[in-house]
Amino acid sequence: MDGPHNAQANAGTAHGDGSNGRRLPDFLLSVNLKYVKLGYHYLISHLLTLCFIPLTAVTLLEFSQMSYTDVRLLWLHLQFNLISVIIFSTVVVFGLTVYIMSRPRPIYLVDYSCFRAPHDWAASLHAFMEHSRRTGDFDESSLEFQRKILERSGVGDETCVPEAMHTVPPKPSMAAARDEAEKVMFGALDALFCNTKVKPKDIGILVVNCSLFNPTPSLSAMIVNRYKLRGNVRSFNLGGMGCSAGVISVDLAKDLLQIHRNTYAVVVSTENITQNWYFGNKKSMLIPNCLFRVGGSTVLLSNKSVDRSRAKYKLVHVVRTHKGADDKAFRCVYQEQDGAGKTGVSLSKDLMAIAGGALKTNITTLGPLVLPISEQLLFFATLAVKKLFNKGVKTYIPDFKLAFDHFCIHAGGRAVIDELEKNLQLLPVHVEASRMTLHRFGNTSSSSIWYELAYIEAKGRMRKGHRVWQIAFGSGFKCNSAVWQALRNVKPSCNGPWEDCIDRYPVKLVL
């Protein structure tokens, strides 16, 4: 079992208590140049497009300044110069072919849906603690530890745990875990198909992610069986990839949609609570019990041009960062057995520092792709002065509020939201969706960023042209970002997760 020092360290990791020094580091104050270069590598990969635009503009400008006499003389010249016409036509056709073939297909987010658990699955703080006490699995020290974390976590009284965890004693069987997975995935998929009017037979790509529950047949096979998807559907089941797996799934679906024309892709993101509740007394493994709750999302993506008119968003960028080569990062979120042989997920006391490093890598790669030129010039000017002349010069911190209108920060815990708000210099309204999602639904793992996007829509804040930054952390250790652009003034879909409670939010939180 953990000693008092480790217990306090892990508690600080969960609820962001600054007294123990386990806060997210000021990652923007120390920038590794190689990650900035990586972002510019992505930018230069579209060099052909960038060169073609000014060339076209110059050509049109020249034509606009030509008189009728100039046009007539050019036409007469071309009539008697067949070789010039052939060469010019060949260059134009070749250039347009290369441009069209190298240009990535736009990926549209037609709609998405989030699972809303029934009210009898709710677990208030009082009910949670009483149930934990009645199970007889936790000693007094562990019960007090969980109570303190719950009080400071930002998790509200309406968050839900599955049916099997409401009984005394709990019954975390394989059958119960399958039942939870089916209710969450099928509930969200039913709503998605109903809202979009897309038939299951039209789905060509299926990507499912769930970290801790990977039965045989797989979760993706369960969906194929339930909805009778076609025999040539390209299905993928991602396991063990943590809370950022939702962005990974979107990235995989995007790549597949670049290859397979005129089709739909469905991304299903969830986590299973039933078989992954920890019934021991190791402090670092008790934190997930207090934060993780039932949830799931389904997203319909399309590469069909006809879907642009009805789609909500267009995918702009996906940037993925993996720190798994570092041993500390690899083990900072680690599923294992404690000394008594009970399985759980252990959170390292270095988690916040590792998350900060992963985030620094991610945003310095993403920055050149999204920041205005003015912000990039200021950043590089101060960086050059710092590197070449005066190391004491403070690096300019880019204002990401100029690049994004909305922020969906994974609702992993209050500490992460607090520190990203501070380090990215965000306003309370920018993290409101994350805080309210954590309060209403808890940490729903990879699906939390979609509950947050649904909150923004339910509040009527999403306007045409707005950019949204979804950012999530996951075991391994990973930090992944997705950037979307609204194609219209987005309204919430029917049966949304906030439909019955948005008028009560935002609520005032005790911090």
**What gap in Å lies between CA 140 and CA 281, rounded to an integer?**
10
Phi, psi dihedral angles at 496 (to 5 degrees): -70, 160
Contact 250, 316 (CB under 8 A): no
**Which whole-number Å values give the CA distances from 290 to 16, 67, 285, 388, in the listed order?**
14, 75, 10, 48
Give the containing element (helix H, strand E) for 296.
strand 296-302
**Helix locations, 82-173, DSSP H:** 82-102, 125-135, 140-152
**What gap in Å lies between CA 200 and CA 195, rounded to an integer?**
13
**What gap in Å lies between CA 297 and CA 270, rounded to an integer?**
7
**Which whole-number Å values give the CA distances from 456 to 373, 430, 449, 505, in the listed order?**
28, 10, 11, 11
Contact 471, 409 (CB under 8 A): yes
SS3 label, residue 207: strand
SS3 label, residue 241: coil
Show which residues are catalytic: 243, 322, 406, 410, 439, 443
Question: Concatenated DSSP letters for 40-90?
Answer: HHHHHTTHHHHHHHHHHHHHHHHHHT--HHHHHHHHHHHHT-HHHHHHHHH
